[in-house]
Structure 1
Amino acid sequence: MNLLSDSPPSMAVGKPGKLYGISAGPGDPDLITVKALKLLQQVPVVAFPAGRQGQPGIAQRIVTPWLRPEQQQVPLFFALVQDEAKLQAAWAAAAATIEPYLQQGQDVAFVSEGDVSFYSTFTYLVAALRERCPGLLAQAVPGVCSPLGAAAELGLPLTIGTQKLAVLPTLHSLSELEQALRWAEVVVLLKVSSVYPQVWQILRQHDLLRQSHIVLWATGQEQVLYSDLSQHADLQLPYFSLLLVQRSQETSKISATCGGL
């Protein structure tokens, strides 16, 4: 499928290229938006976070069905650590890799799983590039983020009515979860794998295990769903694991009555 428009990306000598942040969605290649797909197929250069051990990364796997053979693919290496110095060095190195393409007048699409404005590396890449190229033109194209994909796969609305939603990207302290459970009716924990045993105990103490769900690789081919965690205290979870907690039983009743969404 080719959605090329009549207006090709900028290639004029002396005119810098434009950086596009392409939201690839949580896993299913069909969840990319029409706008993102058009831009993705227009650009001559497509960049994405590199996978581990030489394997394709998540974003690359999602968009591979849509790429053209002549497009140049550029993996960028980002550090999956909390060390600020190492993170800064990785962002700077990624910017140095992308800058020559832009300076040559080529448009570049940086592809990120989920949405590029939702805890995405794209934000840091743009900041690092603007230190090198103050006049950088960048555009973010929104898409489907993982909590939305997970809720859809579970057959549940993420929120209804006046429910308050809390999203915790990384749980550095268990007190953060305790605080969120006090005021939010729906709590989403991203990358929960490293603290899952402790989180499970907190959910048990709050009698929320039956209203909690784990989603692995939402909407992707490797997707796994766990609902009612009362029998799942010892799950071995991968890095990209999402936990959805519904304090109110109202959402679950709606889903059960409607037979899912």
Structure 2
Amino acid sequence: MAETLSGERIVLIGAPSLLSGLVRMSNRSAEALKIKNTLLRTQDGRELQLTLGLRVPPGVTAHARASVQLDPRTPPGDIRAEAIVGEEARDVLIRVLEHREVALYPQSFRIHGRPGAQVPVPAVLTNLGNVPFSVPRVALLAVSQAQGFEQMFHVAMAQAGSKGHQAALDLFAQMLGASEVDAPKVLFNAAAGKQLAAGDSVETELGFELPAKLARHGLYMGSFTLGGAQYPVEIEVDAPGSDEPVVPVPASVPATPAARKSRS
């Protein structure tokens, strides 16, 4: 004879894709108890499969992991059900948690455009969560020039290294400041502000708004966040670009006090 311990309710908690919990079983028979799955009936008439993967030796009481999967659109809240485990009907409480997930396709972007241009890209946005999702109007891109940090450091050392490390670092800091650009924007255009119900999709055209100050023929790498996921973006500046050089170098670098002292 196998049974769950008296009166214990099975509680399963999680997002709709996987809700799990523990069930305690006592095997009073002379043979090992094995249960892979059993039927679970909800109060609203649905039939689900409760996965147990249970193996309890004779005369042993043990815990087994129980799990169930629901439609991914199932909203947060409690669902009451009943399952036959061993030889007993047990009450089951399914506690569905909020799950937010958004899918954007394409999942990465390669943009070609001039400084100040808005580059259109068709896209499809799908709400994979179980609560409504409000499409934002704009997302900001955090970008940096590809290999710009290394290039500027080498140029600073070449230009000012002979005047001392401090002079090279000062020039490097000036170059970093001069190379900063405003954050490009991702506009959601026609989809902006729409409420997507769980499971719904919307087709739109994203607008990648490039800042006016970008290096001629520059390559910028970055990403933007939507619904907790990051989407990589590569921006290649088409010619004619900005008149700003890729690596800004001041005409002259003042010598540091240490360098002036060494010359005196």
| TM-score, with structure 1 as normaliser | 0.23
Relative CO higher for 1 or 2, CA cutoff 8 Å, sep ≥ 6? 1
| TM-score, with structure 2 as normaliser | 0.23
Whose helix proportion is higher, 1 or 2? Answer: 1
